[in-house]
Amino acid sequence: MKQEFIFIGPPGSGKGTQTILLSKEYNLPHIDTGSLLREEIAMGTKEGKLADSFISKGQLAPIEVVSSIIKNRLKRTDCSNGFILDGYPRSVEQLTALDNILKEIDGNNKVSLKAFYFDIAQDELIERLVNRRTCKNCGAIYNLKTMNLKDKNKCEKCGGELIKRDDDTEEVAKKRFETYFNQTAPLIELYEKRGQLIRIDASRTIDEIYKELTGAVKENVYS
């Protein structure tokens, strides 16, 4: 059965860290719309140019841009056994768009879809975001405050350069939370009503959360 996993949670809740690990363990592509949009910006495409001004203000990029990027990505053959969506859908409108995209791609195939919600209080998160660094090369995520890095500019996994995202400032982070609560949080109830929601207490350690997630994923894969 095709395994479709969706991750919802406020900025800095740890979705990225966990979905990268899960993707390796279960050999499912990790599809993260934030990174796909940043790639478009770096390549200077029309989509990237359109999305840029929204990202720098902490707002959602236009739905046409995101839908077209995600549709092309989900159609690729590496998604035939399933995928891990990190940061998509992010609004009720995007959920409807995703339903339509999956209807087209999956047809009558057997599919299991689960949405993991990373539940965590907002107070901790701004500090996490401003201290977050990402490897330019492999995408690994670090926290300068809680992780004892030998070199704050170098990835411990691949030696790549660690960078701070332009939108990981206190000012933009506050806007991103507003966007999350107004537009993304309503999805939690919708997935719950569909019987597809799994709540994760995201205030725990990376290892504790990973253990719970792999347990839930295994149960789903082998059920």
Tell which positions 47-76 bind ligand AMP, by CB under 6 A: 54-55, 58-61, 66
Q: Closest distance between ligand AMP and the C-beta of residue 36, in Å?
A: 8
Binding of ligand AMP by 132 (CB under 6 A): no
**Strands ordered across the beta sheet of 162-163:** 141-143, 132-135, 162-163
Q: Is 90 in the active site?
A: yes
Which one of the listed residues 57, 73, 165, 174 is annotated catalytic? 165
Q: Is 132 in the active site?
A: yes
**Binding piece for ligand AMP, criterion CB under 6 A, among 85-93, 107-115, 136-144, 155-163:** 85-93
Binding of ligand AMP by 33 (CB under 6 A): yes
Identified binder of ligand AMP from the candidate list 8, 19, 41, 90, rule CB under 6 A:
90
Instruction: Sort strands 162-163 and 141-143 into parallel, antiparallel or unpaired.
Output: unpaired
- Could you tell me how many residues make up the chain? 223
Chain residues binding ligand AMP by CB under 6 A are 11, 33-34, 37, 54-55, 58-61, 66, 87-88, 90, 94, 167, 176
